Amino acid sequence: MKIEKHEDRMLTAMVRLTGSNERLNRRVAGLTWVILILTWITFVIAIPNTLATIFGIPRVSQVLGIEAMMAALVISTVGALVLVIAPGSALSLSSIDRRLRRTVRNK
């Protein structure tokens, strides 16, 4: 009788642990997507910001006209957005989703 009671407690503990593990996995997956989106935002902002910093150097701003600087900033922003949004890109949502699903399946 004592062994059966112990087995029941162990099974109950295992079921609770499995449920807890599944909830933790869902939370980690959600946080992964939040970090991914924040990384994309940083990526899209960082490239034009770096160019703006370079263009702020007095020598560079004297050599290049405002039109060339603005064109470079717009092109770099659009380029970064295309890398993040384009379906075939390595940084696109669909590509990263496939890789994450493949990784989860392999574990």
Domain that residue 98 falls in: 31-106
User: For the chain, what is the domain count?
Assistant: 1
User: Following DSSP, what letter does each residue of 27-42 receive, concatenated?
Assistant: HHHHHHHHHHHHHHHH
* Segment 75-82 mean pLDDT: 83
Chain Cα centroid distance, residue 40: 6
Residue 74 and residue 15: Cα distance in Å, rounded? 55
83 found inside a domain: yes
Q: What is the pLDDT of residues 34-51, one digit of tens each?
A: 888 888 888 878 878 887
* Segment 22-37 mean pLDDT: 82
13 found inside a domain: no
Give the global pTM.
0.55
pLDDT band at 3 (very low <50, low <70, confident <90, very high): confident
